[in-house]
Amino acid sequence: MKFFIRTPQQRAPRLGVLKDIDNRPNVEIETPLALLHTQGGHIPHVTHEVFKLVSKDPQILQIPLVSMHCFRETMTYYDGTISEFIGSTNSLSCLTLHDPSNLTKQGHHIRNKVPIWTKQGKVLYDPEMYMDIVESFKPDMYCLLSDGDTNMTSAQKRISKAVENTISLSRQCLERHKKSVQLKNTFVICPIAGGYCLNAREKCLKALLADQDELNGFLVDGLHNNGPEVEFLPFEEVRGVVEFTIKNIPPDKLCSMQGCWNPLNVLKLVQLGVDMFDTSYCRILTERSAALTFSMEEEEGSESYEINLRQSKYAYDFTSIMSSCQCLACAKYSRGYIHHLLTVQELLAPVLIMIHNIHHYLKFFKKIRECIENDTLSELEHLISDQYKSHQEKILSGKVDEEELQGFLNNMGDIEF
């Protein structure tokens, strides 16, 4: 698999394409794109068969190792790829370390090892153990092992350790990659650590760019510890670090960021040059019974950026989630029916909400690509910004139903205010 830039501008905003994929010469996936976030190899609440009703376009599944560790031994005896193992033979796969939709525990650092928190507890991965997994999974893309346990509050000592560990871990993984027959044509993404310290980022970049010929893309890592709090990260806090990192990455390489970034921040990050995100934001919304309803066209005139279907006002609302949406949930079910399903705790409720959210989110990325091509991305950003800010002001001013506010607070989980 290789990454090619389609637009004249090498930096941002730009259009690109992933192609020359082994055994799939006719498949091309356009960027900017969103990886389909999975847990245990499946999109939360949605099976592979149901997703075919959402989209028939080629997709890349994000496979977090933290949710696949339990299959480690099994995969050593399996001859196929991880996509075949999970029953999604038509999808490509991208192996990552942590689950961006769940808060990653901090601390527990050991030299030359990275902790991941599985259902069975803490597991320490060193480069050899990690590359054993990568070779047995045979993903189409994967991220090198790194220490991304930093955020806005991290001390300088922790940041320095994170950079040292990331450089050492990535180099060891890359050496193994060069010798691997199974990973000969696999797309390699190199993480760049350093928290919010530009000097630390520069040190990490200089060390890892020495092997840039072996790397296909870069991951801007270490800005957060994943989980719902990423949705509310102020863009101005991350802008300087992302801008600096992308500026020093070779322009012909793919640039990736993980996390539950809200659509407004996605647009701003695309403006800086980020090519690849994930759909973990859709899972966060679905867990709080919220459906995306922001409009991408002026004439759509959406009532709100998102709606919470647990609110009692939707009990007798027989309209679809969004009148302009063509997804399965909007075509066949009403807000009132989904509200009823939520009230009686029927498992179909999150399935329908997730179907709509993923459909809307993928449509959003398609719109981003169209706007880049037509040079109208700033208009889309302005349109969504107005809707998002209006929604946030409504929450902060207290002009929300008690059910909606409670759902919003529940979604925040372990975030400290």
Binding-site sequence positions for Zn(2+): 325, 327, 330, 356
| Nearest partner of 138 among 94, 175, 190, 88, judged by Cα | 94
Numbered residues of the known binding site: 325, 327, 330, 356
- Give the integer Cα–Cα distance in Å for 195 and 160: 9
| Nearest partner of 280 among 83, 66, 6, judged by Cα | 66
Q: Are strands 33-37 and 141-143 parallel, antiparallel or unpaired?
A: unpaired
The DSSP-derived string for 58-104 is --EEEEEGGGTGGGHHHHHT--S-HHHHTT-TTSEEEEESS-TTSPP
Angle at CA 370, nearest 5°, toward 293 and 56? 70
Q: φ and ψ at 346, to 5 degrees? A: -80, 135
Contact 64, 99 (CB under 8 A): yes
Contact 174, 214 (CB under 8 A): yes
State the residue for tokens 């993980």.
258
Q: Helices 348-374 and 377-396, interaxial angle, to 10°? A: 140
Query: CA torsion 312→316→318→323, rounded to 10°?
Result: -30
